[in-house]
Structure 1
Amino acid sequence: MADIAQSSPGAIAINLATLSGFRVAGMTGAVISGIAAVIPSFVILVFISMFYVAFAANPLISEVLKGMQAGVAALIVDFVIDMCSMMVKERSLLLTLMIPTSFLANFIFEINVAIIFVMCCFICIVRVWLNERRQKKWGNY
């Protein structure tokens, strides 16, 4: 399971928690384990963000944050490249078109990224559901 978690996109700890939860309690266990793996980091980030103004006012921390922006930008570019290559390998026209459509929706039409993200998640969930339904239908014959 650790090998699968390392090979799939995303944080290894979250992937491993989700896979373990799925093995123990199915889809419910996967959802609960995934959420439980995210909660500690989320709480810490919420706490830090409440005091962000005080941190950013400190000149030393301000310079450190500026330096971290370059690292974050590099991580985002690496993530986008990995995500795009995985979507192209899937050889799905829908997933391949999702990349430029999302970019155009944000850049040209200025649609909020969160809305684009939710729509893409919804489309992918429907796609998986339809594929499973199709496999069950054809599996009966």
Structure 2
Amino acid sequence: MNKKKLCKIFLSTLYLSAFTFGGGYVIVSLLKKKFVDELHWIDQQEMLDLVAIAQSAPGAIAVNGAVVVGYKLAGIPGILCAVAGAVIPPFVLLTVISFFYNSFKENLLIQAMLNGMKAGVGAVILSVVYDMGSDVVKEKDPMLLFLMAASFIAAYFYHVNVIFIILAAALAGICKTIVRKFRRGARL
């Protein structure tokens, strides 16, 4: 295995994890920028597929994202390097914060900083939604457009649990694939 590549995977996920605030969905956009736009190790569509897998799996999306990207790039050693890089910064940060928790929770400067970061996190999440949504729109597939709109409406207006939305979308994708293969006469 190429040690340089493994080192780059580790350092990239370490850097991304160290500077990702606001939850796992923020790291999705940063993973795309790093591995698709900068390094060109993964193409756009494949990254969307990897993100879908990471979102569908149980657990933290940041770690799941590191697992699928690491595996895609370098197999099991890639997983180990990517996950180590993704886990070390939050582990260190949370360990330090736990020692000083009482001081942090009362500090107005810390509270103001965290409130200000909410706007930045919202912008990054919006960027992820735009990137993924624009790719669906570009495909001009009526079923995908319907699924995207229906998922948004179900989650936002009717507060349907995301798990049910993901399962319904996965089922629709499976059905579409089966129908397409059946029409072509191919076997499953």
Q: TM-score, normalised by structure 2?
A: 0.48
Q: What is aligned with 1:48?
A: 94
Equivalenced residue count is 129
Question: CA RMSD of the aligned region, Å?
Answer: 4.3
Residues 5 and 15 of structure 1 are in contact (CA less than 8 Å); yes or no, is this contact kept in structure 2?
A: no
Identity %: 23
Q: C-alpha displacement at 1:107, in angstroms?
A: 2.2
Letter in 2 for 1:111: V
Give the Å deviation of 1:58: 2.7
- Supply the AA of the counterpart residue of 1:126: I
Bigger RCO of structures 1 and 2 (CA < 8 A, at least 6 apart): 2
Task: Give 1:14 shift.
Answer: 6.0
TM-score using structure 1 length: 0.60
**Unaligned 5+ residue runs, structure 2?**
1-34, 52-61
Equivalent residue for 1:61, pick from 89, 92, 110:
110
Displacement of 1:89:
1.8
Aligned to 1:86: 135
Deviation string, structure 1 residues 45-67 (Cα, Å, up to 9, x no partner): 5783995xx34443222111111
Alpha carbons of 1:134 and 1:65: their partners in 2 closer, same or farther (altered >3 Å)? farther
Summarize the Cα distance change of 1:65–1:15 in structure 2 as closer, same or farther, 3 Å threshold: same
Structure 1: how far apart are the matches of 2:126 and 2:150?
A: 18
